[in-house]
Structure 1
Amino acid sequence: MTVALMWEARAVEGRGAELLAWARAQELPSHPLRRETFRAPQDRVLVITWWDADHDAELPELPEPDAELVMRTVHRWRFESTAVE
């Protein structure tokens, strides 16, 4: 089964580039099948990692950035793949 972990944070206004650089620099203790990083308006950063694992498996996730860098706590979601199209 393929599980996707989504990590999304919103930077303090004007610090989106810094949050993006921070997210890209985070190393995980094991390597996912795939890792992709996105940015969006309002200084938001999204990281998706794909894993060959069960939905409830223990998987490494990106940590919380320093509170001074973000406007709120990180949002996290976990999805399982249903099909590849």
Structure 2
Amino acid sequence: MTVALMWEARAVEGRGEELLAWARRQELAVRPLRRETFRAPQDRVLVITWWDAAYDAELPELPEPGADLVTRAVHRWRFETVAD
């Protein structure tokens, strides 16, 4: 089964590039099958990692950035693939 972990944060206004750089520097204890980083208006950063694992498996996740860099707690979601 493939599991996707989504990590989304919103930077303090004007600090989106700094948050993006911070997220890209974060190393995970185990390398995922795939990892992609996105940015969006309002200084948002999204990181999606894909894993060959059970839905409830213990998987490494990106940490919380410093409170001075973000406007709120990080949002996290977990998804599993489904057959078409």
Instruction: Please classify the TM superposition score into its range, dividing by the shorter chain length.
Output: over 0.9
Which residue pairs with 1:22 in the alignment?
22
**Aligned to 1:28, what secondary structure does the other structure show?**
coil
- Distance, in Å, in 2 between the alignment partners of 1:32 and 1:57 is 13
- Distance, in Å, in 1 between the alignment partners of 2:83 and 2:37 is 22
CA-to-aligned-CA distance 1:34-75 (integer Å, 9 cap, x gap): 000000000000000000000000000000000000000000
**TM-score, structure 1 normalization:** 0.97
What percent identity do the matched residue pairs reach?
83
**Any unmatched runs of 5+ in structure 1?**
none
Q: RMSD of the alignment, in Å?
A: 0.9
Q: Does 1:72 align with 2:72?
A: yes
Corresponding letter in the other structure for 1:62? L
Which residue pairs with 2:36 in the alignment?
36
**TM-score, structure 2 normalization:** 0.98
Shift of residue 82 of structure 1? 1.0
Aligned length: 84
**Any unmatched runs of 5+ in structure 2?**
none
**Aligned to 1:69, what secondary structure does the other structure show?**
coil
